[in-house]
Structure 1
Amino acid sequence: MQILIADDERDMLKILRAYFEKEGYKVFEAEDGEKALEIFYREKIDLAILDWMMPKVNGLEVCMEIKARSDKKVLILTAKSEQEDELKALHIGADEFIRKPFHPKILVLRVKKLLGDEKDIHYHNIRIALEGNKLYLDGRDVQATKTEFELMHCLVRNKGNILTRHQLLDLVWGLDYFGDERTVDTHIRRLRAKVGEAVIKTNRGLGYSVEGAHE
């Protein structure tokens, strides 16, 4: 799924992008409302996260235009604390309203709820249980480690696309990880032993992927 995040704080954009990409979403960034609308008209987004106070065109105006032209979900972020502000945002069509400061994981959960993306993910005979962070093969818990679970989740959410070792390190281990890229190979090898050797494809010189034909 594709998400537009519009906020004039660069650090906020960087943090939110990392969290959502880790969950397998494709993220488009905008630092003002004008750019946000350009992206909305150019790309097929599923949801927009809009900061209320943005340069050029504010978040509420962007929300109104998105809602007038589509049925896409919109979540408003704001530092405003008055209840009237929340009522105003919801009245003009926003589907959700979150006050700053907030934890990015809370935002991710709210977005998943809006998109109906909270359920377990099924891929071939593998079930990825999001609530318990468990992997099941033919209904059997394979006892995956947290890292193995995150790797499988990341690959399946990006199925059909090749992820490089560096991308996997950023998405699974985090942006602040500076270890050897070969640690990815070690964890992929252990994961394959649990879910099947053929599930994860090695794209030599590029990275790893899973096929995109099956949900």
Structure 2
Amino acid sequence: MRILIADDEQDMLRILSAYFKKEGYEVCTAENGEEALDVFYREKVDLAILDWMMPKQSGIEVCREIKARSDKKVLILTAKSEEEDELKALSIGADEYIRKPFHPKILVLRAKKLLGDEKGLRYQSLRIDPEGNKIYKDGIDLQLTKTEFELMCSLVRHRGQILSRQQLLDFVWGLDYFGDARTVDTHVRRLREKVGENMIKTHRGLGYSVEAGDE
């Protein structure tokens, strides 16, 4: 699924993009309302996340046009706190409204709910429970650590793609992690012992992947 994030704060765009990419979404970004509409018409966007206060065209104006021309979901972000503003956003068609500041994980969960994508993942013999942070193989809890859980989720969400060590470090350990990339190899080795030796593929000099088409 493809998500448009429009905000005139570059740090906000960078952080939110990282969180959504970690969950396996394609992300398009825009820094003003006109650019947001250009991206919306150019790309097949499933959800638009729009900051209310943007240059050229506001998030409300962009939302109004998107809703007039499509049935795509729109989520409005705003620093405004008045109930009248929330009512205005919802009355012109916004599907959700979140006040700043917020935790990016909350936004991701709200977005998943709008997209009907909050259910657990399945891959081959694995069932992934995102709420419980557990992975089951043939119905048995694998007792994964938090890092192992996040690592397997990242691979499954990006199945069919080779993820480099640096990408996995960003997804699992965070953008501010500056440790040795070889820690990924250690955790992959331990993870393989639990999920099965052949489930995670090694691509020498490139990274790791799981095969596509096995949900």
- TM-score of the aligned structures, taking structure 2 as reference length: 0.96
- How does 1:189-204 map onto structure 2 within 5 Å? 189-204=189-204
Q: Deviations over 1:56-104 (max 9, x none)?
A: 1110111122222222111001111111111111111100001111121
Give the superposed CA RMSD.
1.1
Flag structure 1 segments of 5+ consecutive residues without an equivalent. none
1:134 is displaced (CA, Å) by 0.6
Task: Provide the rounded CA distance (Å) in 2 between the counterparts of 1:44 and 1:15.
Answer: 22
1:109 is displaced (CA, Å) by 1.3
1:171 is aligned to 171
Structure 1: 4+ residue segments shifted above 4 A:
none
1:207 is displaced (CA, Å) by 1.1
- How does 1:132-151 map onto structure 2 within 5 Å? 132-151=132-151
Task: Provide the rounded CA distance (Å) in 1 between the counterparts of 2:198 and 2:70.
Answer: 41
Task: Provide the rounded CA distance (Å) in 2 between the counterparts of 1:68 and 1:204.
Answer: 49
The number of aligned residues is: 215
Q: Deviations over 1:158-177 (max 9, x none)?
A: 11111110000001000111
Q: Deviations over 1:21-50 (max 9, x none)?
A: 222222111111111111111222211100
Task: Provide the rounded CA distance (Å) in 2 between the counterparts of 1:208 and 1:123.
Answer: 16
Task: Provide the rounded CA distance (Å) in 1 between the counterparts of 2:46 and 2:198.
Answer: 32
Where 1:205 maps in the other structure, the secondary structure is coil
- TM-score of the aligned structures, taking structure 1 as reference length: 0.96
Flag structure 2 segments of 5+ consecutive residues without an equivalent. none
Task: Provide the rounded CA distance (Å) in 2 between the counterparts of 1:26 and 1:171.
Answer: 14
Where 2:48 maps in the other structure, the secondary structure is strand
AA partner of residue 97 (structure 2): F
* 2:53 is aligned with 1:53: yes
In percent, how many aligned pairs have the same letter?
76
1:153 is aligned to 153
Task: Provide the rounded CA distance (Å) in 1 between the counterparts of 2:155 and 2:66.
Answer: 31
1:75 is aligned to 75
* 2:116 is aligned with 1:116: yes
Task: Provide the rounded CA distance (Å) in 2 between the counterparts of 1:63 and 1:197.
Answer: 48
